[in-house]
Amino acid sequence: MPMGAIWVPLVLTLKVALWATAINLVLGIGVAFGLSRWRSHAREVVDSILTLPLVLPPTVLGYYLLVLLGRRGVFGEWLDRLGIHLVFTWMGAVIASTLVAFPLVQKAARAAFEAVDPQFEDAARVLGLGGVAVFFRVSLPLAMRGITAGALMAFARAMGEFGATLMIAGNLPGRTQTLSVAIYAAVQAGDDRSAGIMVLVTSATCVLALLLAGWLAPDHLRRTRP
């Protein structure tokens, strides 16, 4: 197979997965920190709803996205007037991957924030820091190890996203055809050699991401208690 046949979907897949991970880091950290500090019975209900993407079939998620973002969708019409088209574009693939991988970041981040000894935050407040500074200087760095692990899981998940991506972004070679979609297309076309190579590349990238998860965080963060 020509190099371009694997290179193009690989670059697109990495672009989509990196964007989805970046968006999920911001959203996941924000939501997880909010939930970890929120004292209400509604908290677990919200948490369950936010976990739905983990258990719902990706095709169902893709369908929801079409209903919401499609040209005649709830937000789609409004976005269309702004000149933003998400269906059948790589940005649609980013949204699909973001949605599917979101619970992985959120759950890991929430567990990490809840594991931070509140005494460190108390100490920072007594030392004169306001809420935002306590978050960026104490809570976030102490939770970073867990968040990083979650983000790498989310990256690996976004790399392999198939169902929701196919529903909203389609299968347009060179534009929205990510590796997992390209593999499906190759198998359908009887091109087992291309499919095999792309399967190996996807597997290797995901293994690498998971290995990184254990390696990235510095040693001294392994202990959060003095």
Partner 1 sequence: MSIDVSIRKTLRADDRCFDLDVAFASDHRRIVLFGHSGAGKSLTLRAMAGLLAPDAGHVRVDGRTLFDATTRVDLPARDRGVAYVFQDYALFPHLTVAQNIGFALDRGWFNPGRRSHDGRVRRWIDTFELGAVADSYPARISGGQRQRVALARALVAEPRLVLLDEPFAALDPALRGRMRTELRALQSRLDLQMLVITHDPADVEALDGHTIELRDGRVA
Q: Does 117 sit near partner 1 (CB under 8 A)?
A: yes
Sequence letter at residue 186 = A
Of these, 11, 26, 74, 133, which contacts partner 1 (CB under 8 A)? 133
φ/ψ (deg, to 5) at 211:
-65, -40
Q: Does 128 sit near partner 1 (CB under 8 A)?
A: yes
Of these, 122, 193, 207, 216, which contacts partner 1 (CB under 8 A)? 122
Q: Does 226 sit near partner 1 (CB under 8 A)?
A: yes
Return the percent helix, strand and coil in the chain, to nearest 5: 75, 0, 25
- Output DSSP code: residue 116: S
The one segment of 14-22, 49-57, 63-71, 125-133 that binds partner 1 by CB under 8 A = 125-133
Of these, 12, 20, 86, 138, which contacts partner 1 (CB under 8 A)? 138
81 vs 222 by CB, closer to partner 1: 222
CB of 27 to partner 1, least distance (A): 20
- d(Cα 162, Cα 182) in Å, to the nearest integer? 10
- For partner 1, how many residues bind (rule: CB under 8 A)? 25
Of these, 120, 150, 157, 167, which contacts partner 1 (CB under 8 A)? 120
- d(Cα 143, Cα 53) in Å, to the nearest integer? 23
Of these, 37, 43, 137, 175, which contacts partner 1 (CB under 8 A)? 137
CB of 17 to partner 1, least distance (A): 28
Sequence letter at residue 66 = L
- d(Cα 155, Cα 24) in Å, to the nearest integer? 9
- Residue 29 CB neighbours (<10 A): 24
The one segment of 59-67, 112-120, 148-156, 181-189 that binds partner 1 by CB under 8 A = 112-120
Which H or E run includes 203? helix 192-215
Q: Does 67 sit near partner 1 (CB under 8 A)?
A: no
Q: Does 141 sit near partner 1 (CB under 8 A)?
A: yes
- d(Cα 23, Cα 128) in Å, to the nearest integer? 32
Helix/strand/coil for 9 = helix
Q: Does 123 sit near partner 1 (CB under 8 A)?
A: yes
Q: In terms of Cα–Cα distance, which of 104, 88, 118, 111 is closest to 28? A: 104
Which residues of the chain form contacts with partner 1 (CB under 8 A)?
117, 119-120, 122-130, 132-133, 136-138, 141-142, 220-221, 223-226
